[in-house]
C-alpha cells in the first residue's frame, strides 16, 4: 500500500465515514501503521443514547520523549451529492486538487502526519528518536463531528489507564485561514449553552390586565445581556461573547398572550471564566436585571467544552520553525474559532493544532491542493526531525 500523503488521503476519502460510520477508514490506517511496526489497538466505546464508536490508538517506541498526532476520520454528511463537481467520496484529483468530503476536515491532515511518520521511520531504521529513544503515536477517533462522547475523551482515559504518558500532541485540524502556514491554534475558547425562561400569565389580548406578557420582559433581558460585555479579552484570547440563537413562545394564536417565553443562547468564553463562574455571572446579571418583577430561570446544557491554552514556548517554537522552513511564513498563534477535540487532550499534555487550510471544510466540493498535502507532510516531518534532534 503506498504511503505518500496523497495516496493515503485518497484511500481515506473513499471511505464514506459519516459519523458514526467508520466505513473502513481505520482499517486503512491500521494496515499502514502495523506495516511500519506500530503497535495498534482498536477500541470501541459505548454509552446509552449514543452510537458505538470505533477508535484507534497506535504507538511505536517505549520511551520518551513521546509525541502524538491526533485526529478524526469521521466526516459531516455530503449534502446534495448531485451538486458536487466530483463525487463526494470519489477521491478524484482534478487540476491539482483532491476532492471529497474530509479532504480538509480532516483526513488530509491525518494522511500527512502518517506519511511524515512513515518517512521518518524509514530513514531512521524503523525507530523514533535518537538511538531509538522516543515514541510516536496516533490517536484517531470517529465521533468528533457529532456529540463527541465515545471518541477522544474516552480514548485519552483509556490510554491513561494503560499508563501511556504523552509529552506533546499535534492535532491536525484545518487551522489555516487563507494559506498553509498562516495560523497555529494554541488554544480554544470554551462553549456553554443554555435556555432563558421568562414566565408570565396567559390571557386574552383584549384583557391584558388579567395577564402578564413575558415577551417584553424577555426582550429587555436579551437586550441587556448582549449589551453588557462579559469581559474585554485577555492576553491570548478575544473577548467572550454571548449570542442568542432562538426566541420562542410556542403560541400560534394571535389573540392570546403567551404564558411563557424562552430564548436559547450560546457563550464562547475565554480564560477569564470557568463554566461554573460563567454560569454564576450570567445568573447574577439576570437576577439584577429582572429584580422581583420578572419570573426567570436558566436551564444550562451539559458541556464538555472548557477553555484551554498551550502557552507559547519551545514546542510552539519548534512548529513555527518547521512551518517557516517549508512555507516561508511565520504563523499567527491563534485561539480563535470553534471547539475541537484538543479540549480533551489538553488535560494530558500540551496540544497545538495545525493542519490544512479550512476554506472548503463542510462545503460542497470540499477540496485541498495536492501541493498543500505535500507541504504539510514536509512540515510534520520537520517537526519530527526537530523533536527528536
The catalytic residues are 74, 144
CB 325 within 8 A of CB 181: no
CB 81 within 8 A of CB 88: yes
**Quick check: helix, strand or coil at residue 112?**
helix
Burial of 35 (0-12, 13-18, 19+ CB in 10 A): exposed
Q: Which residues pair with 47 in a beta bridge?
A: 50
Q: Which residue in 99, 84, 73, 61 sits closest to 19, CA to CA?
A: 73
Residue 362 sits at φ, ψ, to 5 deg, of 70, 5
As a whole number of angstroms, the distance between CA 279 and CA 272 comes to 13
As a whole number of angstroms, the distance between CA 387 and CA 142 comes to 28
**Quick check: helix, strand or coil at residue 27?**
helix
Q: What are 115's three cell numbers?
A: 506519511
Whether cis (ω within 30° of 0) applies to the bond prior to 240 is no
Burial 264-303 (b: 16+ CB within 10 A, else e): bbebbbbbbbebeebbebbeebbeebbeeebebeeeeeeb
Q: Which residue has 512548529 as its cell numbers? A: 319
Tell me how crowded residue 130 is: count the other CB atoms within 10 A of its CB: 11
Instruction: Describe the crossing of helices 370-387 and 314-327 by its angle, rounded to 10 degrees.
Output: 140
CA 318 to chain centre: 23
Burial of 325 (0-12, 13-18, 19+ CB in 10 A): middle
Q: What are 275's three cell numbers?
A: 463554566
As a whole number of angstroms, the distance between CA 75 and CA 57 comes to 19
CB 100 within 8 A of CB 365: no
Q: What are 372's three cell numbers?
A: 498543500
Amino acid at each position: 500500500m503506498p504511503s505518500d500523503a496523497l495516496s493515503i488521503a485518497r484511500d481515506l476519502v473513499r471511505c464514506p465515514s459519516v459519523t458514526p460510520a467508520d466505513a473502513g477508514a481505520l482499517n486503512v490506517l491500521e494496515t499502514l501503521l502495523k506495516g511500519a511496526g506500530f503497535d495498534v489497538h482498536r477500541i470501541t466505546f459505548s454509552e446509552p443514547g449514543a452510537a458505538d464508536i470505533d477508535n484507534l490508538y497506535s504507538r511505536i517506541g517505549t520511551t520518551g520523549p513521546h509525541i502524538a498526532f491526533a485526529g478524526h476520520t469521521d466526516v459531516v454528511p455530503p449534502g446534495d451529492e448531485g451538486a458536487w463537481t466530483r463525487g463526494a467520496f470519489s477521491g478524484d484529483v482534478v487540476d491539482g486538487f483532491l476532492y471529497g468530503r474530509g479532504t480538509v476536515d480532516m483526513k488530509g491532515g491525518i494522511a500527512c502526519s502518517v506519511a511524515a511518520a512513515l518517512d521518518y521511520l524509514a530513514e531512521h531504521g524503523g525507530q523514533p528518536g535518537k538511538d531509538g529513544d522516543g515514541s510516536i503515536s496516533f490517536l484517531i477517533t470517529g465521533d468528533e463531528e457529532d456529540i463527541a462522547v465515545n471518541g477522544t475523551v474516552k480514548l485519552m482515559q483509556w490510554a491513561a489507564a494503560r499508563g501511556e504518558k504523552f509529552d506533546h500532541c499535534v492535532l491536525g485540524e484545518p487551522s489555516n485561514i487563507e494559506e498553509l502556514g498562516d495560523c497555529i491554534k494554541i488554544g480554544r475558547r470554551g462553549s456553554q449553552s443554555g435556555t432563558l425562561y421568562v414566565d408570565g400569565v396567559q390571557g386574552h389580548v383584549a384583557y391584558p390586565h388579567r395577564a402578564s406578557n413575558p415577551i417584553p420582559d424577555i426582550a429587555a433581558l436579551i437586550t441587556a445581556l448582549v449589551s453588557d460585555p462579559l469581559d474585554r479579552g485577555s492576553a491570548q484570547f478575544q473577548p467572550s461573547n454571548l449570542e442568542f440563537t432562538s426566541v420562542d413562545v410556542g403560541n400560534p394564536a394571535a389573540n392570546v398572550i403567551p404564558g411563557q417565553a424562552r430564548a436559547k443562547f450560546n457563550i464562547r468564553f475565554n480564560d477569564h471564566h470557568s463554566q461554573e463562574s460563567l454560569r454564576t455571572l450570567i445568573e447574577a446579571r439576570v437576577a439584577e436585571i429582572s429584580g422581583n418583577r420578572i419570573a426567570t430561570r436558566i436551564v444550562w446544557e451539559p458541556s464538555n467544552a472548557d477553555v484551554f491554552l498551550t502557552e507559547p514556548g519551545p514546542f510552539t517554537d519548534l512548529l513555527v520553525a518547521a512551518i517557516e522552513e517549508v512555507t516561508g511564513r511565520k504563523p499567527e498563534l491563534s485561539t480563535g474559532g470553534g471547539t475541537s477535540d484538543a479540549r480533551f487532550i489538553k488535560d494530558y499534555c500540551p496540544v497545538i493544532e495545525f493542519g490544512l487550510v479550512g476554506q472548503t471544510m463542510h462545503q460542497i466540493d470540499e477540496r485541498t491542493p495536492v501541493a498543500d498535502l505535500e507541504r504539510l507532510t514536509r512540515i510534520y516531518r520537520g517537526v519530527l526531525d526537530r523533536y527528536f534532534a
